[in-house]
A and B are shown apart, each in its own frame.
Chain A
Amino acid sequence: MKTAKRLCILILVMNMMLLSGCWNYHELEDMSLVTGVAIDKGINGDTYHLTFEFVDLTGDQIKSKLVESDGNTIYDCIRNVTGKGEKKLNFTECKVIIISQDLASQGISPSLAWYIRDHEPRMNLNLIISKEKTANEILQEKPITDELISLEIWKALNRNVTTLGKVPCVELYQAINMLSDNGISLILPTIRIEKFSTSTALVLDGTALFEGEKLFGYLDSEKTKYLLFIKNQIDGGLLLSDNDSGNLCLEVVESNTKLTPKIENNEPSVDIKIKMRAMLSEDQSSTDHNTSDGIKKVEREAEKTLTNSISDLIKSVQSQTTSDIFGFGTLFYQNYPEYWKKEKLKWKEQFPKLKCTVSASIKIENTELLKQKIKVGG
């Protein structure tokens, strides 16, 4: 009896281990680690043309290797690679997906479906739109600092958040959320190749704007910065402000944007308040601003620049599209659910009419190492 009991427990315990989840034994060297994928429209009648960049382990150094494949679905393309003598592709370390603008203007969601359905790719990989003719060209570029071009793009995108603030950094799960939400439209970073006389380089360049799942336009990088200010995604970067006598440059230490939706007489409006701490890092004007009055003056001017630029951006977006790229609709969903329930489907009509008031308060904390301007001949 005791033996039977023990046997039962043993079988149950074994079942717990054998019948659980999905796991498998794979040696690392039996697979190719994909770091980046470029998705293009198919050429010879196929729907897709995919370019994979993966880590090449033959030879002494870690190198990049590209393989291209065609197919009717994304997964089809991925599996077709195996037919070309390559190892099985592994997507656990995939960092970026580059989508060509042709494909994006037809609709982006079919190309992303596999990446969220399969267990291997991570939900936090970065999406990016190629401004070139094909996405493939981007991966064909030679990397400068890294061994793999897709890693270089990925690092540049993430570095950009704290140093530049001119490109949005959108991860796969965020893109999916934006796509499925009525109150916000999808935006993605874009990349293009800059040609110099002897060489070429990749440049992150502004924002791709979507209407639904279809690409319809771009914002340049300067405007993208103000878009990110509205979205409260500025974590660094510079703010240039015009002065009568020359350019002033502030470095953002911390910036906080508060969006307050209001409904008055059934008319929605949004109040945008930006609170920013900054350093005066460059002063090219002719007057010396390193006095408390001077600093205050700089602050006021920078505030003016910021509010004006943001208002202009909102106005121009509202005049061009019905697509709520700022995500104002989400604010109403969060704060006025009853209103949102009624207006959800009509938001496209509401958005261009939405009134926005912008105010900014900038505090300059220091002037870095310089106490006085450089005196010439003085």
Chain B
Amino acid sequence: MGNSENTNGAQGKIKFTKQIQENIRQIKNEFAKDQTLVLRRLENPDVGESYIVYIDGMVNNRLINQDVIRPFLEFHPEPHEPVTLDVIQNQVMLSNSVERTSDHDKLIQAIVYGDTLLLIDGIEEALILNTKGWTSRSISEPENEKVLRGPREGFTESIMTNLSLIRRRIRTSDLKMEFETFGTRTNTKACICYLDSVVNKDVLDELKKRIHMFSIDGTLDSNYINEFIKDSPYSPFKTVGTSEKPDAVAAKILEGRVALFVDGSPSVITVPYLFVENFQSDEDYYLNYYFASINRILRYLAFILAISIPAVYVALTTFHHEMLPLALTMSISKARQGVPFPTAIEMTIMLVVFEMLRESGARMPGSMGQALSIVGALVMGQAAVSAKIVSAPMIIIVAVAGICGVMSPRIKGATILLRFIFLVMASFFGLYGFMFAVLALMIHLYSISSFGVPIMNSSYTNTRQDKKDIMVRAPWWFMKKRPKYLSENAVRQKSTRSTK
């Protein structure tokens, strides 16, 4: 993890001796000024002076009482038997995971992660006992990935819970989970998860290479890692996916993608991330494929409208009047009588105002929702039009762009940015500038890739298997192959629908 610098105190490393008091002093030194550290002295005459060390609040107290303290105090070996650490580890402790070590880093890590240390007089090593027990949020439906049909479980902030949610869905030893640690100070646990026989090894190696290439002091959310490992870091388009839904991540792992779980973050990273994933909802696969396909086509259409409709409106009304039907020209022209700003400025103002409304709506306390919608709908819409500050068609255009923009939440950021770029181009150069921007966008989209897989994968070839999950969602019995380049094991299922 690039963990070259020693960040754990300046006292130097703990070096256990046979004197327990010396060992305790070293630990106290290491955790000086940390008053949550608990040192509990245990006295078993048959074993000798012992201490357990843990941090209050990180441990399950009942586990310590029942599985550590009680068996330890009740342990009375036969007089001729020597008391070794092996005996304590294997015969006395009831904890499910017991490890012996004298390594400084391991000891510190164990204490801060909710394990309990058992130190015994005369022994140079300590036992690490698994007593982790902190409260975490229970499994609930993620707020921003709600579905009408399908599993409603969502990831929590606890990595072990999250891994169990995946394991429960993919019950095979083929599912591999490899732990990593991120953050020189936070020492955040992370886990790479994939199906060994399905995953594209090049992608896996690339991911492993990239996560070892950077150093950061803390990773509080998966996005910290996301930005370090993503391809085309300056592109507004995602090349690394995130999801809060175990079913979605499990489906991606089944397609050959690699998932990266980060402790403390409910969003799980999946790579590679294709452009079409912006428009694929997990619900698509749980609903009838006709309905799912319609929804998906609508999402594409909405994306195109969201980025281009303000630009096209400005271009048509200020550069290419002849392209509008006469009746439309007349009504727009009529609505614009007395409006003080030029169309392009008016559009920019309205779009900025809409983005402000959206952003304030996203994070404001629920009780203010009504006030905001009144201000947004009445003041911004109706009053602005009747006061002739903006024209009515403008409100319609901005509303359409706004509604379409939130239809595919995964590509929201890119949508807003592109909308403004297109608008500026159209305001200065008309449709010519707009087409220029569209071309630039296409060149950009087709030039970027995610972990070696082009993000526009499968959009430039023309076989039916490639097209099955792009614009439409084909029926499950048609999905015989995994998406191209994602997997070394292309055949997903040899499915044939049972027919009478």
A-B contact count (CB 8 A): 66
Which residue from chain A places its CB closest to the CB of B431 in the assembled complex?
A: A23
Say yes or no: is B326 at the interface (Cβ < 8 Å to chain A). Answer: yes
Segment of A1-9, A24-32, A197-205, A258-266 engaged in the interface with chain B: A24-32
- Determine the distance from Cα of A17 to Cα of B435 in the docked complex, in whole angstroms: 11
Nearest CB of chain B from residue A52's CB, rounded to whole Å: 15
Say yes or no: is A122 at the interface (Cβ < 8 Å to chain B). Answer: yes
Which residue from chain A places its CB closest to the CB of B331 in the assembled complex?
A: A62
Segment of B37-45, B161-169, B314-322, B401-409 engaged in the interface with chain A: B314-322
Q: Are the C-beta atoms of A28 and B326 separated by less than 8 Å?
A: no
Give A20-79 interface residues, CB cut-off 8 Å to B. Answer: 20-21, 23-29, 31, 33, 35, 55, 57-58, 62
Q: Are the C-beta atoms of B337 and A57 separated by less than 8 Å?
A: yes
Contact with B433, one of A17, A28, A90, A92 (Cβ below 8 angstroms): A17
Give B157-203 interface residues, CB cut-off 8 Å to A. Answer: none
Q: Which residues of B contact A33 (CB under 8 A)?
A: 321, 326, 329-330, 333
Say yes or no: is A93 at the interface (Cβ < 8 Å to chain B). Answer: yes
Q: Which residues of A contact B317 (CB under 8 A)?
A: 27-28
- Determine the distance from Cα of A348 to Cα of B429 in the docked complex, in whole angstroms: 52
- Determine the distance from Cα of A31 to Cα of B428 in the docked complex, in whole angstroms: 19
Count of A residues near B, CB < 8 Å?
25
Q: Are the C-beta atoms of B318 and A28 separated by less than 8 Å?
A: yes
- Determine the distance from Cα of A28 to Cα of B337 in the docked complex, in whole angstroms: 9
Say yes or no: is B214 at the interface (Cβ < 8 Å to chain A). Answer: no
Q: Which residues of A contact B337 (CB under 8 A)?
A: 29, 57-58
Q: Are the C-beta atoms of B429 and A17 separated by less than 8 Å?
A: yes
Say yes or no: is B482 at the interface (Cβ < 8 Å to chain A). Answer: no
Q: Which residues of B contact A57 (CB under 8 A)?
A: 330, 333-334, 337
- Determine the distance from Cα of A35 to Cα of B326 in the docked complex, in whole angstroms: 9
Q: Are the C-beta atoms of A20 and B432 separated by less than 8 Å?
A: yes
Taken residue by residue from 55 to 78, chain B's Cβ proximity to chain A (1 for < 8 Å, 0 otherwise) reads as 000000000000000000000000
Q: Which residues of B contact A55 (CB under 8 A)?
A: 330, 333
Say yes or no: is B310 at the interface (Cβ < 8 Å to chain A). Answer: no
Report which residue of B322, B427, B432 has the largest number of chain A beta carbons within 10 angstroms of its beta carbon: B322
Say yes or no: is A242 at the interface (Cβ < 8 Å to chain B). Answer: no
Q: Are the C-beta atoms of A92 and B321 separated by less than 8 Å?
A: yes
Say yes or no: is A120 at the interface (Cβ < 8 Å to chain B). Answer: yes
Q: Are the C-beta atoms of A28 and B432 separated by less than 8 Å?
A: no
Nearest CB of chain B from residue A157's CB, rounded to whole Å: 15
Contact with A93, one of B318, B329, B432, B436 (Cβ below 8 angstroms): B329
Q: Which residues of A contact B329 (CB under 8 A)?
A: 28, 33, 93
Say yes or no: is B342 at the interface (Cβ < 8 Å to chain A). Answer: yes
Q: Which residues of A contact B429 (CB under 8 A)?
A: 17, 23
Q: Which residues of B contact A29 (CB under 8 A)?
A: 333, 336-337, 339
Q: What are 11 A-B contacts defined by CB distance under 8 Å? A: A21-B432, A24-B319, A28-B321, A28-B333, A29-B333, A33-B329, A57-B337, A62-B330, A92-B321, A93-B326, A122-B322
B residues contacting A by CB (< 8 A) are: 317-319, 321-322, 326, 329-330, 332-334, 336-337, 339, 342-344, 427-430, 432-433, 436
